[in-house]
Amino acid sequence: MVTPITGCWIDGTFGAGGYSRALLQNGACQVIAIDKDPTTKVFLHSIQNEYGDMIKFYNQSYADMEKNDDIAGRDDICGVVLDLGVSSMHLDNPLRGFSFRESGPLDMRMGDQPGPTAFEIINLCSETTLADLIFFYGQERKARKIANRIVKERKKRKINTTLELAEIVRAIVSKNSNKDPATRTFQAIRIAVNNELRDLSKALIFAERIVKKGGIIAIVTFHSLEDKMVKDFGKLMSGNASTTNRYSPPSSKTYPSLIPVNKKPVVAAIDEIDRNKRARSAKLRVFTKVSNGPSRVLEKIEFPEVDLGI
Ligand SMILES: C[S@@+](CC[C@H](N)C(=O)[O-])C[C@H]1O[C@@H](n2cnc3c(N)ncnc32)[C@H](O)[C@@H]1O
């Protein structure tokens, strides 16, 4: 059973503030809200009008939580929530470059980091890098063909817009479900632009250290790469992970630091999916911290890493 919400929580993906508001409405005394995207700050004011300085906002990456003076060194953090990925504000504004439905510049940066942008990746990365990236981050079987076509097209002229990229992919991947054929390729490029897997790895490791005994870590993922990382992390921290390689020495005995609240991830009910289509791919995993220290010191969670080479 999950303990009631109390004390100080970190909402690492503030977005439009829905989770922060819900935490305050349900018993949190303080919320430290973080978002990489500075434009999300507009949603802070209405929450502040109601809750005053019970909410604080920081425009930073959740990967850098440990550098936040309001968080570092605290021993009273009761929970960390991460609702990963892009928001509808990103998808619905073609100028941000995430949409394959409407034309926009190939950008895809969630924050105001200098780059690389999607344009730079698509127009400058080698064919092999593009193929690896689309294969590993997009889990797209036709990655090599797509990369080859991108390189052929960009020899004729620069690929400038989201629709140009989407058309290249649609010429190769046939539509066989209710997903646009460009979905996986766009996911791959977005993950690369925003360093999403590296950031998630850092955030999970830090969240496990900062949350106090009895506290909660709740993560909502939207694709299987993220979900696998969260699941593997939970296994390692619950002391249940088997050795990754049968030739490696057995791991030393570890004590659980996190235990999963649910055996299986929580998924959205049909009526929620009717209201919000994005929820159909959402998976929620919740862990409770059961010790004062980590079960093992993790430097990094394994994930496929593609060097952009640009
Ligand atoms: C799915 S939305 C969150 C929606 C939010 N839970 C709500 O109730 O409105 C994800 C948010 O996380 C932010 N984000 C993505 N990666 C981030 C990172 N590394 N650090 C901080 N924020 C990030 C995005 O800018 C976006 O606003």
- Distance, CA 87 to ligand 1 centroid (Å)? 7
Contacts 24+ apart (CB under 8 A), 19-27: 19/81, 19/83, 20/47, 20/55, 21/47, 23/79, 23/81, 24/50, 24/51, 24/54, 24/55
From residue 247, alpha-carbon distances to 23, 154, 244, 250, 251 in Å are 46, 45, 9, 9, 11
Which residues make up the CATH 3.40.50.150 domain(s) of the chain? Answer: 8-83+196-289
**What is the mean predicted confidence (pLDDT) over 297-308?**
87
Amino acid at 127: E
Scan for tokens 């990236």, then name that residue: 133
Lowest mean pLDDT among 34-38, 51-55, 211-215, 301-305: 301-305
- Distance, CA 139 to ligand 1 centroid (Å)? 22
* Whether the CB of 43 sits within 6 Å of ligand 1: no
pLDDT band of residue 309 (cuts 50, 70, 90) is very high
The pLDDT value recorded for residue 301 is: 87
pLDDT exceeds cutoff 90 at 21: yes
Q: What's the CATH number for 94-193?
A: 1.10.150.170
Question: Is the pTM value of this prediction over 0.75?
Answer: yes
- Distance, CA 111 to ligand 1 centroid (Å)? 10
* Whether the CB of 135 sits within 6 Å of ligand 1: no
Element of type H or E holding 184:
helix 183-193
User: Which superfamily does 8-83+196-289 belong to?
Assistant: Vaccinia Virus protein VP39 (3.40.50.150)
* Whether the CB of 119 sits within 6 Å of ligand 1: no
Smallest CA-to-CA distance from 65 within 215, 204, 220 is with 204
Distance CA 258, CA 296 (A): 11
* Whether the CB of 57 sits within 6 Å of ligand 1: no
What is the DSSP code string of 279-310?
A: GGG-EEEEEEE-SSS-SS--S-----------
Buried b vs exposed e over 167-182: b needs ≥16 C-beta within 10 Å?
A: ebbbebbeeeeeebbb
* Whether the CB of 87 sits within 6 Å of ligand 1: yes
What is the DSSP code string of 231-284?
A: HHHHHHHTT-PPPSSTTSPPPPP---SEEESSSS-EE--HHHHHH-GGGGG-EE
Which residues make up the CATH 1.10.150.170 domain(s) of the chain? Answer: 94-193
* Whether the CB of 221 sits within 6 Å of ligand 1: no
pLDDT band of residue 295 (cuts 50, 70, 90) is low
Give the end-to-end CA distance of the chain in Å, rounded to a whole number. 48
Rg (CA), the chain: 20
pLDDT exceeds cutoff 90 at 243: no
Element of type H or E holding 30:
strand 30-34
The pLDDT value recorded for residue 291 is: 87
pLDDT exceeds cutoff 80 at 101: yes
- Distance, CA 81 to ligand 1 centroid (Å)? 10
From residue 303, alpha-carbon distances to 92, 143, 147, 195 in Å are 29, 18, 21, 12
* Whether the CB of 62 sits within 6 Å of ligand 1: yes
- Distance, CA 20 to ligand 1 centroid (Å)? 12
Query: Which of 110, 198, 202, 204 is the best mutation target for the ligand 1 pocket, counting ligand atoms within 8 Å of the beta carbon and taking the most?
Result: 110
In ligand 1, which atom is closest to the CA atom of 14?
Answer: 5
**What is the mean predicted confidence (pLDDT) over 232-243?**
81
| Tens-place pLDDT, residues 246-271 | 444 445 446 789 999 998 999 999 99
Scan for tokens 């394959």, then name that residue: 100
* Whether the CB of 17 sits within 6 Å of ligand 1: yes
Task: State both tokens at 192.
Answer: 């690369």
Task: State both tokens at 222.
Answer: 């939207």
Residues near 20 by beta carbon (within 8 Å), at least 6 away in sequence: 11, 14, 31, 33, 47, 55
- Distance of alpha carbon 284 from the chain centroid: 12
Distance CA 113, CA 259 (A): 35
> What percent of the chain is modeled with pLDDT above 70?
93
Which residue minimizes the CA distance to atom 4 of ligand 1?
A: 15
Phi first, then psi, for residue 39 (nearest 5°) are: -70, -15
Q: Cβ(208)–Cβ(218) under 8 Å?
A: no
From residue 71, alpha-carbon distances to 76, 185, 237 in Å are 10, 36, 22
How many C-beta atoms lie closer than 10 Å to residue 284's C-beta? Answer: 18
| Tens-place pLDDT, residues 40-71 | 999 999 999 999 999 999 999 999 999 999 99
Smallest CA-to-CA distance from 109 within 94, 120, 98 is with 98
